[in-house]
Structure 1
Amino acid sequence: MKKQKWFQTLSWLLWCLFCIVSAFTTGYFLTMLFFKTTGFPSELVAFMICAFISLSLLSLEFFVFFFILQHSRQGKKHGWLQDRFFMIASDAMSRIARGEFSVFLNPKDFGEQRELVDSINKMAKDLGSMETLRQDFVSNVSHEIQSPLTSISGYVTLLENDALTPAQRKHYLHIIKSESVRLSKLSSNLLKLSSLDSGVAPLSISQFHLDKQLQNAVILLDPQWSKKNISITADLDKVTVSADEELLSQVWINLLHNAIKFTPEGGAIHIRLATNDGKTVCTIADSGIGISSEDQIHIFERFYKVDKSRDRSLGGNGLGLSLVKKIVELHGGIVSVESEKGKGTNFIVTL
């Protein structure tokens, strides 16, 4: 290290000596050349002119040298910053690849690379959100499967008791059947959502009467709303649409099923279908328990249930409205909700 510093000092001294000698030599010859053209002045004036030209040349040499040195240092610094950025970015990407989604790089530390740093931070945040959703999804599926399986296992054990009366045995078998249907519906909905998400099954587009489809959905659910003495009225324009008939039927059945489920006995449901500015709008309004504004934000999320305390009695697995939203969006439409606690709910589907 000392030898290197000594060598650098010696190089500086030799370079300065070279600059001084070259500047004064060049200045002398330029002065002589100038005097040959204009004539020789007194010795003092000639010396002053020669010194001025030589010092000017020396200043120019030092200016050029320091200008080149400064740009060389900036280039090295810029290169070092780039190397440092790529090293840190590479390490960040490796950590993200290992599942560390808490990675964050401060954009202020990287100057020109700010946009790329913002992209890395956004990617880490989005992947972290996706991982959280994945974990929640696995947890929810496990819970939804475990609950009916535990129930079935428990009642099967009870059925092994020979002392049961026929009425008790029938009751237990009814519960096992209900829980089996619940499991089957969960599996069916999960497969359907997976198929729609992946786009494996393309939409089967055909033309059909939407008003007739809504009427058929009401007739299909007749046992459910008749049992609760619910009044269903409809105001349906004659509308023909080009869509996937089977999937849209699922939308109306899910929405009507929810309306019936959350409308008390003796309540009312009204269905309205109309076209407006080239758009088809269907509204399903009920006089049920309503949905709070806090819950309305989440009702289309998978496995979200508004009233968790009533899950077992009302059935359902929190996938119905997710399916509705997915199917409507696949048709380029929008589904929205208007509701107030205790004053009923309106679901609006715009195609």
Structure 2
Amino acid sequence: MTKRLFSAILTVTLSTLLVGMIILIAILMPYFEQQLATELTTELGYLSRGVSQYGEDFLSTIDPGSSRITLIDADGTVLYDSSLDASTLENHADREEVKQALATGSGESVRYSTTLQEKTLYRALLLPSGDVLRIACTHYSSMGIFLLLIQPILLILTFGAVLSAVISYKVSHRLTRPLNEIDLEHPQVPEDYEELTPLLRRLNHQNRQIKAQLMELGEQQERFASITENMKEGFLVLDRTGTVLSHNTSAGQLLHAEAPLMGRDMTHSPIEELNSAIRDALEGQHTETLIPLFGRMCQLFANPVYQQDQLTGTVIVLLDVTEKQERETLRREFSANVSHELKTPLTSISGIAEIMKSGLIDPNDVPHFAGKIYDESQRLIHLVGDIIKLSQLDENSIPYTAAPVDLLELAQNTRIQLENPAAKQQVTLQVEGEPVVIEGVLPVLDEMLFNLCDNAIKYNKPGGHVWVSVKHTPDGPTLTVKDDGIGIPTEDHERVFERFYRVDKSHSKAIGGTGLGLSIVKHSAAYHNARIELESAPGKGTCIRLIFPPGREIHGQEQTD
């Protein structure tokens, strides 16, 4: 605005100066010409009286100055001329001013020289002698004067331009300073600009509207950010070129983004499946597919976004379905394992029953075959029971309530239950420690400890030992089952808690079991928020430690025997 004011003021000032000079010249030229004509007339009167009194010789005694004096006979012959030799001049009878003087007593005319840009004024007077006395004076025309004065005019214009520039600069800054100093957030009417009151009132009103809209927009953005940031799903909004306009933290985590995603072109990401889905969405196609992302499996949804039938971008949602896929895999494996485990004893029972039905069995062998059927049926019962327990633990639907449980007392009861099996395996089972009471579900804890001790006995060697220890530790109540049996290879440590997984399948087949014992231990520990630690090596035995959170420990509980 300052520049525009400066240019406008400077232009007006210079234009006014130039037009003023032109008008001044236009006004003064006729005035000077009139003054010159009057002076010529007056001077001609003085000269006529001198010539009448003293004759033609009077003219040679005076200094004509810049004027030209001519005495002309009645027939037009030049008798005297102050500038030229009269004998060389042509007859002047045809001169306009001479003809007028001879006819009326006086005459005047103006002649213009385009070559010299000059104008000559003539005044003539008829003398009593019949001669005509003429006086002439030459002066510059308007254009001639302008050309003569061009240099001073340019100097004046230059000085005027500089002066106008200085004045324009100061005036423009003085005019715009109050405007520039207006606080647009809290506009106040300047003292010198009351005319701005309506504008500033509108600014105040618009500021209030903008603030209200910004607050509403900010609240909407906060709500949107709060929703998206708390989503486990990755969320990205892309423009029509595939550039990220918005995203949440989960998207960056799932994509393992080392740099900010904002502004990145996702059509050239290192994940080809993602690129393909984005390109399809930007072409207007809804895409839903599974893609692997850095060891995880994600469900990708890509939807095009339209505004008034114009494709403006796309929305990408990434859902981590790794656990779902793993559960589905486990479910299929579990179904296959359960079918296999059920099929084996059922086939055995069915075969024995078929032989007995055909009457091919010696009556003396019936008890033996009946015992086989009983053993296989018990195996089925145990398998179904373990499956039911796992199902209850999975669904957190244990039909019991939590109560104080003394882990040392529980360990001693377990030792009593397994005393005979341990003796048959020639394994010594020992319990040691101090009373530790926690809040827990007794049947679940009992099943968990029973499976640990049972495995420690089964996978031991004659003359082996099993130690059960209960004590307080800084990490919380700790229950440890340790043996010096066959041990578990390091590569199998992560899998021994899987359902139906057996390290030594031939040995497991010989000693029986459903293959669900340690899986029940894992789920029972998770039910009580306990942490499992496993230490084992082939030939060096196994140590499984259960560490319960300190919050489950009950202090001051009396021990009852």
TM-score, normalised to structure 2, is 0.44
**Structure 2 unaligned runs (5+)?**
1-6, 20-149, 151-237, 244-277, 292-296, 303-312, 549-561
Q: CA deviation at 1:215?
A: 0.6
Aligned alpha-carbon RMSD (Å): 3.5
Cα offset for 1:196?
Answer: 1.5
Question: Which residue among 91, 99, 104 is the counterpart of 2:287?
Answer: 91
Unmatched 5+ stretches in structure 1: 1-30, 43-76, 96-100, 107-111
Query: Distance between the aligned counterparts of 2:404 and 2:283, measured in 1?
Result: 58
Is 1:350 aligned to residue 350 of structure 2?
no
- Residue type of the alignment partner of 1:291: I
Contact 1:234 1:272 in 2 (8 A): yes
Paired residue secondary structure (2:288) = helix
Of 388, 397, 414, the residue aligned with 1:191 is 388
Q: Which of 531, 536, 541 is the matching residue for 1:339?
A: 536
Q: Is the 8 A contact 1:195 1:201 kept in 2?
A: yes
1:300 aligns with 2:497: yes
Q: Alpha carbons of 1:341 and 1:327: their partners in 2 closer, same or farther (altered >3 Å)?
A: same
Residue 333 of structure 2 is matched in structure 1 by 136
Structure 1 SS opposite 2:239: helix
- 1:321 partner amino acid: L
Would you say the 8 A contact 1:283–1:346 is kept in 2? yes
Q: Using the aligned pairs only, state the percent identity.
A: 30
- Of Structure 1 and Structure 2, the greater strand share is in 2
Partner of 1:78: 239
CA 1:80–1:327 in structure 2 vs 1: closer, same or farther (change >3 Å)?
same
Aligned twin of 2:213 = none
Partner Cα distance (2:435, 2:428) in 1? 22
Inter-partner Cα distance in structure 2 for 1:113 and 1:297: 42
Alignment-derived partner of residue 165 in structure 1: 362
Corresponding residue number in structure 2 for 1:149: 346
Bigger relative contact order, structure 1 or 2 (CA pairs below 8 A, ≥6 apart): 1
Identify, as 1 or 2, the structure richer in helix. Answer: 1
Matched, 1:262 2:459: yes
Task: Give the C-alpha shift of residue 253 in structure 1.
Answer: 0.6
Residues 10-41 of structure 1, C-alpha deviations (whole Å, 9 max, x = no match): xxxxxxxxxxxxxxxxxxxxx99975442269
Structure 2 counterpart of 1:234: 431
Superposition deviation, residue 264 in structure 1: 1.9
Pair 245,102 (structure 1): closer, same or farther in 2 beyond 3 Å: closer
Partners of 2:396 and 2:527 within 8 A in 1: no
Whole-angstrom CA distance in 2 between matches of 1:282 and 1:87:
61
1:38 corresponds in structure 2 to 14
Q: Deviations over 1:231-279 (max 9, x none)?
A: 1222221222221111111111111111111112222111111111261
Structure 1 CA distance, aligned partners of 2:409 and 2:283?
Answer: 64
Kindly indicate whether residue 404 of structure 2 is the aligned counterpart of residue 207 of structure 1.
yes
Find the structure with the greater CA-based Rg: 2
Aligned ranges 1:5-84 → 2 under 5 Å: 35-39=11-15, 78-79=239-240, 81=242
For the structure 1 residues 290 and 169, does the alpha-carbon distance in structure 2 shift closer, same or farther, using more than 3 Å as the test? same
Alpha-carbon contact 1:325-1:334 (below 8 Å) kept: no
Encode CA deviations 1:276-333: one digit per residue, 9 max, x unaligned: 1261112111121111111111011111111122333221222111111111111111
C-alpha distance 35-238 of structure 1, shift in aligned 2 (>3 A): closer
Q: Secondary structure at the match of 2:361?
A: coil
Alignment partners' CA distance in 2, 1:154 and 1:141: 20
Query: Which consecutive segments of 4 or more residues in structure 1 shift more than 6 A?
Result: 31-34, 86-89, 101-106
CA contact (8 A) 1:102 1:128 kept: no
TM superposition score normalised by structure 1: 0.69
Deviations 1:49-101 (A, max 9, x none): xxxxxxxxxxxxxxxxxxxxxxxxxxxx9347599547888421699xxxxx8
Q: C-alpha displacement at 1:145, in angstroms? A: 1.1
Change in Cα spacing, 1:312 to 1:175, as seen in structure 2 (3 Å) is farther
Output the CA distance in 2 between the equivalents of 1:242 and 1:308.
Answer: 37
Task: Evaluate the alpha carbon distance shift between residue 242 and residue 91 of structure 1 in structure 2; reply closer, same or farther with a 3 A threshold.
Answer: same
Tell me, yes or no, if the aligned pair for 1:290 and 1:341 is still in contact at 8 Å.
yes
Shift of 1:130: 2.9
